[in-house]
Amino acid sequence: MTPLLAVHDLHKSYGALAVTNGVSFTVAEGELHAIIGPNGAGKTTLVAQLSGQIAPDRGRIDYAGQDVTRLDMPGRVRRGLARSFQITTLLPGLSALENVALAVQARAGSSFRFFRPAAAERALNAEAADALAEVGLTDRAYRLAGALSHGERRQLELAVALATRPRLLLLDEPLAGTAGEEAERLVALIDRLKGRVSMVLIEHDMTAVFALADRISVLVYGEIIAGGAPDQVRANPKVRAAYLGEDA
């Protein structure tokens, strides 16, 4: 079966520094594939190449059976490949509903040059409200994004991504800065999305990764040193030595 995402020998360097060095892996339809590794391993640069934010120096990215290596980010979003950012990119002066409605509008191809206010668009609001309900933020619909808690902003960011109707969702450290109940809510949300949306998860929280992932790839100094099911990765001597440690 053809994988939904296939990454072939991806390279990205900045000067003499090879940030992505021959990375290859696949993601099956419906799979949650986690990419883990220490700080500086190249994880965020990798997901930026997958999303179309930056272009690789060489290699190929196939998505849904097509080569999208040179396709820009908006083009990938229109094809169903969306990214949730490590640092939130919400508009703090707009309500939660308006943030999501703008994502719905963007998916429809608006240039935003002469768009009507999103709050005035009933169809946009209805779809945005559905996305907010999906992430558990119905009661925060009319609260300004800037007034939400950190965890709620993470939930809203996921609602914005879901509003693009992704087939593959790239999650770049969705738990960063969260703890306790906020982290638990996000983990539960990602777990509910499993099977409905394919996902690539970049995350430092190993408890969450090993609870959520179907497969894991381990990235160290720009290279994948191991991959497989969570139990296989946990038991891999190279992974324990390079990243997880002997207490893993």
Structural domain spans, the chain: 1-80+167-248, 87-165
Angle formed at CA 121 by CA 120 and CA 127, multiple of 5 degrees = 130
Predicted pLDDT of residue 152: 93
List pLDDT tens digits, range 186-240. 999 999 999 889 999 999 899 999 999 999 999 999 999 999 999 999 999 888 8
Q: Does domain 1-80+167-248 fall into CATH 3.20.20.80?
A: no
| Cross-strand partners of 28 | none
The yes-or-no verdict on residue 175 having pLDDT over 70 is: yes
Residue 88 pLDDT grade (very low, low, confident, very high; cuts 50, 70, 90): low
Higher pLDDT pick, 242 / 195: 195
C-beta of residue 167 within 8 angstroms of C-beta of residue 80: yes
For residue 187, which of 171, 175, 195, 199 has the smallest C-alpha distance?
175
pLDDT averaged over every residue in the chain: 88
